Each structure stands twice: as structure tokens, then as C-alpha cells.
Structure 1
């Protein structure tokens, strides 16, 4: 595992202090506000903090933490803490996995012997102790030659396929390290597991690798989780104050195959990229500007979620063509049905009015049932949770009994002054103002009763000019 592949921005130096007594460990985020670490690094009635970067640790700039209660850790070396006034933009996905001897895992933490410099290493499971009720750890892993003293690494995440499946608690002699599994930790949380809004994935989800997709220039530069609906501000960046439109167009063209062709269609064509692209361009409605918004939505969902191959459709409703992409997203052992809506207009007001109209037309009980049938007709033997997926097609069951969760992702594209007259100094401030406006307009706009019962996620994407963007994209695709 390369250093760049470790979730470095989600793992932190932890400090506990009571008077002159200081303890140090490693902690990591398991939700937007909660971190996990080893209990023996915590001073009773002390002050607790984490450091978002090694440089912050050296300068003493920390994030204050408070202990969380309401769970049984009397006989287990773990503790949960919550940020007092900080929210993580992302966190490590947790996995409940029964590992086997010799399976490969990865560890990242901050040993005291290296000061503020992290240590990352690959090891293997050497012993399973989970069936020994008197054992204080779940399994053991082999020590490595790159670290001699693991003090400071207590609380480090143990990773399997990118998911945290355990936490390092103690060094044993010169040969092994003791690990407490996420499975054992979460089982002791009881009702607090849901109270803290935690999630855990199972091996089938963890080992599922969704189809590869092209790179994307999208970056989520603002993620507002504090209020409903959640709005993510998307940006592609600037170079010498010039918006990266040409990069966006090149990347977006690469996504046409992923968007337009189903997994079965791609298999039928075979590994012939030129043929696949030609077929994708044939299927893509290049003469309709609204399709570009749906393509952007597809890119954003695939980039940020573990998805099962998707169905993207054109719907004829009231004589109009409406575009809507459907995704099955695997998240924390649950099957989520994502039913997309998008709008691309010159102003935000126009875009929101348009997307609300699309939602009212697309999101109905009958429409959801139709989508479920189409999706299940494409089930592939390589997909995980096949039994759960087949259940989606059972029209004798109410919709809420067929899926664990329905998500409505909305992608709004509009021309914006913050892109046309870009100013590095106040870009994020003005972007936040646009996000607040977007949320207010959306919340007061839709009247669809189903929408009020499901989880709405919004992507706001300001561009310099939608007409020139669409025209340039159309020229590139039509070459």
C-alpha cells in the first residue's frame, strides 16, 4: 500500500493532559464528529485534543475533544470522543470483518520515537483470539522492522481494503501487536451505535470493487452537513485565475461510456474502447443541454460512492424529455437506491424551479417501482448482495420494505459571478452564501410528499457560462 493510499487526513495525533501528566496516542475519525482511540491513552478528568496535521501538533494548535458516555467499555481498551467545535469533512469507513491468519492488513499511526512523523506499514494477522472470552484483544499482527517502539501508536487504525477493521492497543514483546476489532468495539456500544450515527460494512461490501471509472476534476470544496438538506459545493479549480473549462470538457467526454452503456452492454461489445465510445456517443442525447447536468450528477455519485453499475434513463413525461440516473449504492451494509434529478440553467433560481418540477414528475410511487424493475433486470452475477437486489423487484412488497434507504441526489448547474469574476480571497465565502441561498430556495420549494420522507443530497456546481460550456462540450463530442 502506497503512502498516498492511506487515509492520512482522517488519522491524528491524540493528546491527553491532566496537570503536568501528558499521554499521547493516535486517534481516527469514525463519523463527522467522533473519534476512536485506546482508553489507556486517556487521563481521567483530563483535557483532550487532537491535531489535524503533524505541523499543528508541533505548533500546539489542537481541536478540543470531550469524552462520550453511554456504552460499556469497562473491560475493553477503547474510548470514543467528540469534537467540541469542529466537524470532519470525511471519516474512515468502518468494517466488521472476521479476519483470518495470514491476511494482509495496513496500519497508520504516530509513534513517539518519530516525533510528529507518521509510520505506515503492512503486516499480517498472526493469531486470532476473538473466541477466547478472557482475552483483552481480538487478534494479533506481526511487528515490522521500521518501528522499534510502538508507544504513541495506541489507537492507530488497522485497515483492510481501505476500511478500518481494528485498532492497535498494545505492543507485546518484540514480535506481535495486539488489536481490538471494530466488531468487538461496536458490539459493546449497544444503542449508542445508532445514537452516535455510526455505520459498519461487512466483508461482502468491503471486497466488492465497483467497475473502474475515469478520473474526474470535481472537488467537493464545501460540505455542509449541519443543516438539511446536505449541500456539497463542487469546484474544478482555477489555473492562474482561469477556470479549468477545457479540462472539465475532456474529463466529461471520458465519462460517456460509463454513463451511456450498462454493464451488460459493455460486456457485449468487449474490451474495445473505441467501439464502446462510439456506441456511447450514439446513445447520448448530445442535442439536449439537460443531459449534461445528468452526466455531471452521474460523475459526482460514482466519484464519491461505492456504486453497483447504474441505469441512466430518458423519461417521456407530459411530452418532455427528462433525464434521470439511477444508482444502487452500497453503504454500511445497506442497499441505497439513488434516484437522481438535475438542472442546468443560467440562474440559480431558474435551475431550482426546473429541478423541483423534475422531482415532482420523476419521484412517484409508480416511477420508483418502474425503476426497481429496470434495475433488477440488469443484475449481474458479479454484484454483491444479489438476494437483496432481487428483492427490489418484488412488487408485492411495499417500497420501504424493498430498499434500506432512498436517496434523492440533486445536481444544480448555473452560471455564476463567483466563477466569472473569480477572486481567490473571497471565493469560498461567496460560495457558502450561494449554498445557503440554494438550500433556502430548495427547502421552501418542493411539495412532493415522498421527497419530504427521503434523504435529499444536493450538489451545487457554479460555472462561468452554461451556454458556452454546453456548446464547447457538444463540439468536442461531435468531432
Structure 2
């Protein structure tokens, strides 16, 4: 346990901080070292300090043994402050990592919540949202809460850690289930903070391609009303909403219409198109949409869901391999310093169990060695020179490498579209509770149909989309595309 605390939570570099303010009041929180004499914490803890006390351990706090620090720099809008120690040098510190963060990544944090008195609390949480796409944003990303802590007062200033490096700082709790953090990526945009890091030779790693943004996409028709991660695999529940108890089928088809170019044409194909205008590009994309294949509707929805939820870079949509089996969409994700290969498995059916059976067959085909090699070879031709990590992307189809050496990680997003009484018998008051029950049934079906060893090995991201009638929905979309 001590080794785990040292490696994952960096406990030797995380301290309890207590500030005596000018008005005599006392603030308490968490801080951590980024060098032998520089600490980071939340600014609201040490605003207008008279005295800053740093307790290096729980025992030190109990024995009132502390070292002193001075306020070096603080930023109220970022809620971040830097402290310099007086006449003391530390032996441990945490490396900073300026990186983009993606939803569902597991991260670690450790701090001193007041409800635990003076004892540290290590927590393992997941990133639940990020705000990279927002120009006006107060925070960088949010993380889930831990079941071991109910009130996070005292945790402000705790480092958010990934593989032993600090990717952000916890600054605030809002409501019962949301924690907000400021990323190191956003911190170093501040000139004062950048100077402190440079002048003090503080270790910082900057992610390759950090400023790259995945291609813009249209507005999604989906609402992600449930995000259930209590067990593996995690499942997101999707709906398109109701207006006066009428299912919003027209809203869906109108939004999906705008996604046809993004789905049917790779970024490279769009860039090389020689047509006159956007309408010509749409017609070209529409010709490529497999209108006679109902499963294409599920694949289109999968494309939309992962583009919106995970900032993926689409490389290719559904294509046929040499065995006339279809590839669902293939995307990549820039995740920390690695490239994740996202290979989709979608299905459309009249009931959830048959939809899962079909998706499981697709998953098994995806993991077939020959199928995987074929997909890697096909997608390499679609890689655009403007994307970051060119060496890693081109590594995907390098025949001189062993298959497992061609990528950093495989993610299989699964999209399950199925007819459901949940939509047919819609009741506003009971909908979310019934949807939650439906999600649990979905997970149970998945576990029954997928080998348990495969479930533990694969990183599945599942979307569950109950519909009124999949055939009717598909016909409405085709009518919209040809209007």
C-alpha cells in the first residue's frame, strides 16, 4: 500500500496547508511540491495571508510541527497560488504535465479533506468532462467524486495525477457529484506562472501536438442523459428527447443530415474534393452513404457519439474488407502521449438482446488477427499530413512491426440501437429511472454474451440508444437526405 501511495498518489509530495489570514480567520487545504522549495495550492486558501503553515504529514499536524512559506504568486481567476518555503528544502516533488485530457480516463488525487480530520485521503476517479472547446471557461475539466469522501472542503489544491505526473489542480466542489480542476495546460498560458516554472527550473513535460484540435463537427442530435460507470463496461444512455410526448424524430433527421459529409468522407477526401460548393460536397458524400444497409444508421450514430464525446479524429467510415465483411467507423484519439485506435462495433435491431448479439459478433471479428491487419492497412491511406504524431499513425500499417507494436491502445466503442417500450410508453416522470434499469439490463446482456476474459481485456465504450422504431427512423433519415 505504501508503494502504491508513493507511485500513484505521490503522498510524499502532498501536504496539509493552513493559513492564518489577516482578519484572524483560518483556512485549510492541500498543497503539493513541484520543486525543493516551490508549492502549488488553490488561491482561495491563502488569499491575504498573515502566516502560511505547511504540515508535511498527518503526524506533523497532530504534533503542530510545521514549516513556513511565503505567498509567491496567486491568480484569482484561475484560483491557483504558488508558495515559496522559508529556510527549508524538500526531497520530493511532482513533475508537471501539460496535456489534453479525455473523458473516462482514470486519474488519481490525494488531499486532506476536513471531514477526515488531519488524515490524507487517496482517491481514484475518472475525468467526466472537459472544456477545451469552450472559449469562456472557468475550469479546465471535471472529475467524478469518490464514494469515500462526501465533503471535499480541505481537498482544494490537491494534484490530479496521471502516471505519477500532475495534469491539473483540484479547485472546487459543486453539488453532490462534480469536482472541477484547472489543467497544467491552461496554467502555463499565464505568463507569470510560466516564468515561475522557467526561473525555478521546475520539471514540466509538454505533450506532443497539445494544441492540435480535432476537426470541427456539426451539432449533435443526442442528449447523454445517463453515464453509468459503476461496473465494466461503462455505458452511456442516449436519447433525442420528446416534445409534448412526441418523439423528436424530425430533430434527429435534420441534425443527422448535417453529419453526412463528416461521416461519409474522410478528412483527406474533403480536403481534396474539387467540387464547386458545400452542396456539391454533400451530394458526393450522399452517394457514398450505404442507404440499403440498416446497420449504416447505427454506424452513423456511433460516429456522431464518439466524435462529440471523445474528440476523436475520424479516419474512415464503414468500408468493406477483402472478405466482404464491413468495418464500422475507425477513428483515432490523441490521449496524453499515445495514439488510441478506436474501432467501432454498431448494431441496429428490434430488441436489445439481438442488438447485443450482433455487436458481439462484430467485436469478435474486429479482434480477429487477419481482420485487424486489413483494417490497419486500409486506414493508413487515409492519414492526413496535418495530424500530429505522424510517426505513430504511420506505424499502424508498418508490416515490419509485430501487430501489438503498431499502436498504443485499442478502444472498441459499441453503439446499440434497438426498438424499445421505454420510448413507446414514454412517461416523463419515470423515464430516467426506467432508463437506468434498462442500462443495467444492457450490461447484464453484454456480460452474458461476451467471454468474461474478453470483457476484462478490452476497453469497451458502450452507447445505448433505445428508439421508437428503427425502420421508421431509417426511412425518415433517407427521406431527409433526398429532400
TM value normalised by structure 1: 0.63
Matched residue, 1:441:
445
Relative to 1, partners in 2 of residues 1:75 and 1:255: Cα closer, same or farther, differing over 3 Å? closer
1:345 aligns with 2:363: no
Task: Output one character per residue of 1:255-279: Cα deviation in whole Å (capped at 9) or x when no partner.
Answer: 1111111222212224721111111
Quick one: distance in 2 between partners of 1:424 and 1:185? Answer: 57
Q: How does 1:220-231 map to 2 (within 5 A)?
A: 220-231=224-235
Matched residue, 2:382:
378
Matched residue, 2:111:
81
> Which among 249, 265, 272 is matched to residue 277 of structure 2?
272
> Which among 276, 291, 295 is matched to residue 290 of structure 1?
295
1:424 positional shift: 2.1
Quick one: distance in 1 between partners of 2:242 and 2:92? Answer: 52
Relative to 1, partners in 2 of residues 1:43 and 1:406: Cα closer, same or farther, differing over 3 Å? same
Q: How does 1:297-376 map to 2 (within 5 A)?
A: 297-315=302-320, 322-376=326-380
Q: Is the 8 A contact 1:37 1:80 kept in 2?
A: no
Relative to 1, partners in 2 of residues 1:88 and 1:341: Cα closer, same or farther, differing over 3 Å? closer
Quick one: distance in 2 between partners of 1:429 and 1:334? Answer: 38
Matched residue, 2:393:
389
RMSD: 4.3
Q: Is the 8 A contact 1:294 1:323 kept in 2?
A: no
Relative to 1, partners in 2 of residues 1:445 and 1:256: Cα closer, same or farther, differing over 3 Å? same
Q: Is the 8 A contact 2:327 2:375 kept in 1?
A: no
Task: Output one character per residue of 1:166-206: Cα deviation in whole Å (capped at 9) or x when no partner.
Answer: 599xxxxxx96798779x99969xxxxxxxxxxx9x44332
Quick one: distance in 1 between partners of 2:94 and 2:367? Answer: 47
Quick one: distance in 1 between partners of 2:427 and 2:91? Answer: 50
The answer for unaligned runs of 5 or more in structure 2 is 1-16, 32-39, 47-52, 62-89, 97-108, 114-120, 140-170, 173-178
Matched residue, 1:461:
465
> Which among 198, 207, 213 is matched to residue 217 of structure 2?
213
1:74 positional shift: 6.3
Q: Is the 8 A contact 2:356 2:445 kept in 1?
A: yes
Relative to 1, partners in 2 of residues 1:423 and 1:344: Cα closer, same or farther, differing over 3 Å? same
Q: Is the 8 A contact 1:363 1:450 kept in 2?
A: no
1:256 aligns with 2:260: yes
Give the secondary structure class of the aligned counterpart of 1:468: helix
Quick one: distance in 2 between partners of 1:333 and 1:82? Answer: 30
1:92 positional shift: 4.4
Task: Output one character per residue of 1:296-351: Cα deviation in whole Å (capped at 9) or x when no partner.
Answer: 001111112232331113336877x5351111111112100011011111110111
Relative to 1, partners in 2 of residues 1:74 and 1:464: Cα closer, same or farther, differing over 3 Å? same
